Amino acid sequence: MAGRRKAPEGTKEGISHVTCRLCSRPFRTISWTHLYHVHGWNPEHCILEYQERFGPRSSECLQSNSRRRRSGIAHLELVGRHWTRGRVIREVRARRKLGRPLNVAAARQEGRSDLTHAAVNLFGSWDRALAASGVRPDQVRAYRHWTPEKVLAGIRKLGRFVGCQVMSRINRPLINAAFRIFGSWRKAYEAAGVLYAPWVTQRKWTREHILSVIHNRAQDRLPLTPGLLNDELPGLFSAAKRVFGSWDSALIAAHCGDMLRDGTLPGQVRSWTRDEVVSELKKLRALGKPLTAKLLKRHRPPGLMS
């Protein structure tokens, strides 16, 4: 067709220009305005539709794509958002020099998700970025890498038997590693050569023995709630129910009934009534105390907030 624009001689299709598959005209980039005004395509997503129909590289030549990418990188560098391997390494080394934690969780908590994302995108993982920066990943991890030897050493360091529930409050990573590696807390103790629950081999619980243990624990302000007792003294709770009919009856027989009624039993969370809660809050307000939930949980009697 006469007057139709042609590509300059010596240029290659796809490198210096692309040809519109609808009208055979050469362009550096086929824009939505051309597809809309010349071919009547819907302006919304018309470029994507063109690429789906004729291929992903059919709408822009390589030279135009390269020029656009350089322009975008220049803009990101101008606003400080362009990441390279060198910049990631400099940022990691700067954090190390300032004494900032180098584990990925700490970096994200401090608002440096941009750094961690860039490290993963450019190096494949955060550990590889640390290694490229001269940092040993195993020395900066927040979570300890547990081996069977470390678990056994941790158990032997305790010096005595500690039940699962108590241990989960003292050192949860250790007990989690023990379950993961050995299958159970008992098997981990056996592998460490430490006697597991030595009181299991004691004599049977008698009435006098039960009352003596309860009385002594009450005097020492040690927990007397069933959940904690089952971990520290297996068999006591079930023996008390068998001998006295119920745990509360055993407490009363051991002269701990007043503490049970007053909610002052060691380890017990008081059961509050509606009127008691209102009365306690009025007392706090009269004393000028703050009534925020955080402070109430921290400083007031257990169970008030529940």
Tokens of 46: 């018309």
Q: Which domain holds residue 181?
A: 148-198
Residue 40 lies in a domain: yes
Identify which has the larger pLDDT, 221 or 119: 119
At residue 2, the pLDDT reads 45
| Residue 209 shares a structural domain with residue 256 | yes
pLDDT tens across 248-268, in order?
A: 888 888 888 777 666 666 655
Does a structural domain hold residue 305? yes
Predicted local distance difference test score (pLDDT) of residue 227 = 65
- Given a cut of 80, whether residue 196 has pLDDT beyond it is no
What's the CA gap between 94 and 88, in Å, rounded? 10
The arithmetic mean of pLDDT across residues 77-92, rounded, is: 79
Q: Which residue has the higher pLDDT, 94 or 227?
A: 94
10 pLDDT above the threshold of 80: no
Is residue 152 pLDDT above 80, yes or no?
yes
286 in the same domain as 258: no
Q: What pLDDT is stored for residue 1 in this prediction? A: 43
pLDDT at 14: 81
Average of pLDDT values for 281-294?
72
Query: Is residue 2 assigned to a domain?
Result: no
Residues 256 and 206 in one domain: yes
- Residue 52 inside a domain? The answer is yes
- Kindly report the backbone phi and psi dihedral angles of residue 26, in degrees, each rounded to the nearest multiple of 5, phi listed first: -85, 140
The answer to whether position 212 is within a domain reads yes
Question: Residues 273, 276, 282, CA angle at the centre, nearest 5°?
Answer: 145
pLDDT of residue 234: 67
pLDDT of 102 > 80? The answer is: yes
Q: Is the pLDDT of residue 173 over 70?
A: yes
Amino acid 301: pLDDT: 56
State the pLDDT confidence band at 132, using cuts at 50, 70 and 90. Answer: very high
Rounded Cα distance between 144 and 151, Å, is 11
Residue 201: which pLDDT band, with cuts at 50, 70 and 90?
Answer: very low
CA distances from 300 to 282, 288, 295 (A): 13, 14, 8
> Among 23-32, 65-74, 108-117, 265-274, which is the least confidently predicted range?
265-274
Mark which of 7, 38, 68 sits at the end of a domain: 68
In a domain, 288, yes or no: yes
Count of other CB atoms within 10 angstroms of residue 290: 10
Q: Which residues contact 180 (CB under 8 A, 6 or more apart)?
A: 146
Instruction: Determine the average pLDDT of the residues in 73-101.
Output: 79
- C-alpha–C-alpha distance, residues 61 and 18, integer Å: 6
With pLDDT > 70 as the criterion, what percentage of the chain qualifies?
77
Average pLDDT across the chain, whole number: 79
Is residue 116, in this structure, part of any structural domain at all? yes
Measured CA to CA in angstroms, residue 141 lies from 67, 106, 107, 114, 153 at distances of 41, 10, 11, 19, 20
Question: What confidence tens digit (pLDDT) does each residue in 37-65 have?
Answer: 999 998 888 888 898 889 888 888 888 88
Q: Same structural domain for residues 278 and 234?
A: no
| The two three-digit tokens of residue 270, written as one number | 């008081």
CA distances from 171 to 164, 178, 255, 288 (A): 10, 11, 35, 38
Q: What is the mean pLDDT of residues 21-25?
A: 90
Do 278 and 291 lie in one domain? The reply is yes
Q: Pick the closest to residue 277 from 248, 306, 253, 255 (CA basis).
A: 306
Answer yes or no: is 126 within a domain. yes
| pLDDT-based confidence at residue 93 (cuts at 50, 70, 90) | very high
Whether residues 179 and 215 share a domain: the answer is no
Residue 4, pLDDT score: 58
Separation between Cα atoms, residue 30 and residue 16, nearest integer Å: 13
Q: How many domains does the chain have?
A: 5
In this prediction, residues 133-152 reach a mean pLDDT of 80
